Amino acid sequence: MKPFLTLALLVVITLTGCDQNNSTDTTLSYSQTPSKTAITVYRFAVHPLHNPQKLIETYQPMINELNQHLDGARIELEASRDYQVYEDKIDRREPAFLLPNPWQTLVAMEKGYRVIVMAGNPNDFKGIFIVRKDGNIHTPQDLVGKIVAYPSPTALAAAIMPQYFLYQAGLNINKDIQNNYVGSQESSIMNVYLGSATAGATWPPPWRAFKKDNPQAAAQLEVIWQTEPLLNNSVMVRDDVPPTLAEQVRKYLLNLHQRNQGQQILAGMETEQFYAADNARYDLVRDYVKRFEQDVRLVRQP
């Protein structure tokens, strides 16, 4: 077996979470009531855009620089091994700051979080379908009876929007195809490369990162369809975080693209810039999800 394929097999096994006991899930301790001389530490939890190691490598530079702009507080980055673990943290109101997908944004609002910025250009938030170039897939109907991989049933751009695309193309996604939820964006792509799925759904930033990190594998794959864009991920703050700190974080993120170092950080995150936004901006997502649940399936599986 070729070394690259052996490595790829190891990667996809890790990403699909076959061994849950060894899955990485960073849990950081922090204090709500520190001593007078202590600096309060707040957790910033990013949803599983990447596997935990890749996510830390991608977002840690931003957190490092952000901490240089804070007074009396420090923020620590937190990754989660999969969407379910991340959403459980939201339900328990554990992280002080979140970077959730738009559907998770709606859930977090109900838990006492509010939007302070949008994390990226809304035109970049769309679902894409990855297939092998030699897979003989040309139309959505060619997927009937085949396996389609997604990171999670709650991944908006990488599951909900692609499934709505297939529904609008005439497929019954609950009967015509087999939907496999494989844990991460990279795993969705790798399942296609390894032949475990005929198509894989993801969205542009993980696909761009995959092409950079795995050019030989990416050369055998292609984007065959894409959905219309919606709204991008948000950054949210919990309602008991000091307003002065929340405002410091908001201003830092909004101004990040205006500095050379900030542009380098954003490039590593595959993000153009952060945009002003609030809760009301995500009403568009609420309406979209309502239509999806009426036509296709419930977002949270029973």
Mean per-residue pLDDT, 101-112: 97
Q: What does the domain layout of the chain look like in residue ranges?
A: 24-122+232-292, 124-230
Does the fold of domain 124-230 match that of domain 24-122+232-292? Answer: yes
* Whole-Å CA distances, 80 to 39, 86, 169, 262: 25, 6, 34, 25
Fold that domain 124-230 belongs to in CATH: D-Maltodextrin-Binding Protein; domain 2 (3.40.190)
Res. 302 pLDDT band, cuts 50 70 90: low
CA distance 298 to 160: 10
**pLDDT above 70 as % of the chain:** 87
- pLDDT at 50 (0 to 100): 85
The amino acid at 202: T
How high is the mean pLDDT of the chain?
89
- pLDDT at 163 (0 to 100): 98
CA distance 241 to 95: 10
Say yes or no to pLDDT of 22 above 50: no
Q: Of 138, 128, 146, 125, which Cα lies nearest the Cα of 225?
A: 128
Q: Check: CB of residue 230 under 8 Å from CB of residue 165.
A: no
- pLDDT at 283 (0 to 100): 97
Mean per-residue pLDDT, 39-63: 94
Res. 51 pLDDT band, cuts 50 70 90: confident
Tens-digit pLDDT profile for residues 136-189: 999 999 999 999 999 999 999 999 999 999 999 999 999 999 999 998 899 999
CA distance 49 to 82: 9
The superfamily CATH assigns to domain 24-122+232-292 is: Periplasmic binding protein-like II (3.40.190.10)
Which residues are within 8 A (CB) of 5 and not within 5 positions of it... i.e. 6 or more apart?
A: 194
CA distance 79 to 55: 7
Q: Check: CB of residue 188 under 8 Å from CB of residue 182.
A: yes
113-119, strands of its sheet edge to edge: 73-78, 40-46, 97-99, 234-238, 113-119, 274-276
Rg for the chain, CA atoms, rounded: 19
- pLDDT at 38 (0 to 100): 78
Tens-digit pLDDT profile for residues 2-16: 444 443 443 443 434
Say yes or no to pLDDT of 17 above 70: no
CA distance 15 to 261: 31
Say yes or no to pLDDT of 18 above 50: no
Q: Check: CB of residue 170 under 8 Å from CB of residue 140.
A: yes
Tens-digit pLDDT profile for residues 234-282: 999 999 999 999 999 999 999 999 999 999 999 999 999 999 999 999 9
The amino acid at 25: D
Res. 28 pLDDT band, cuts 50 70 90: very low
Res. 226 pLDDT band, cuts 50 70 90: very high
Give the count of alpha carbons within 13 A of 110, CB side only.
9
Q: What DSSP designation does 156 have?
A: I
Instruction: Give the pTM.
Output: 0.83
Owner of token pair 């950081």:
28
